[in-house]
Amino acid sequence: MQLRLAVITCFFVSIVSGQQSDCGWFGTMPVEKRRTSEPFKSAERILLISYFSAGRDGSETIIDGNWEEIQATDSVSIVRKMNLKILKEFDLSHLSDVNNLKYAALEITELNQAWKDSLSRWYFNYHPRKWKDDGTVEVIGCYFPRNAILFLDGKDRIVSYIEICFDCMGAAASQDIGWPDLIRFPMPCRISKLDVLKDIFRKNGIVYGIDGHNWNDFKIKD
Helix 113-125 / helix 187-203 crossing angle, nearest 10 deg: 180
Do the Cβ atoms of 146 and 29 come closer than 8 Å? no
**70 in helix, strand or coil?**
strand
- Alpha-carbon distance of 169 to 187, in angstroms, equals 9
How much is the pLDDT for 40?
97
How much is the pLDDT for 20?
43
How much is the pLDDT for 105?
94
Do the Cβ atoms of 56 and 3 come closer than 8 Å? no
- The full DSSP string for 72-134 is -SSHHHHHHHTTBPPSEEEE-GGG-SSTT-EEEEEEEEE--HHHHHHHHHHHHH-EESS----
- Alpha-carbon distance of 222 to 220, in angstroms, equals 6
Q: Which residues are CB-contacts of 51 (< 8 A; sequence separation ≥ 6)? A: 75, 79, 103, 104, 105, 106, 146, 147, 148
**18 in helix, strand or coil?**
helix
- For the chain (222 residues), the mean pLDDT of every run of 10, in chain order, is 33 38 89 97 97 61 53 68 86 76 92 98 92 65 88 95 91 79 79 95 97 82 71
pTM for the whole thing? 0.82
How much is the pLDDT for 5?
32
How much is the pLDDT for 7?
31
**188 in helix, strand or coil?**
helix
Among candidate residues 176, 180, 158, 181, the one with its CA nearest the CA of residue 97: 176
192-195: long-range contacts, CB 8 A cutoff, minimum separation 24: 192/16, 192/20, 192/23, 192/24, 192/126, 193/23, 193/122, 193/126, 193/127, 194/164, 194/166, 194/169
Which amino acid would we find at residue 210? I
Q: Mark residue 147 as left, alpha or beta (left: phi above 0; alpha: psi -120 to 50; beta: remaining).
A: beta
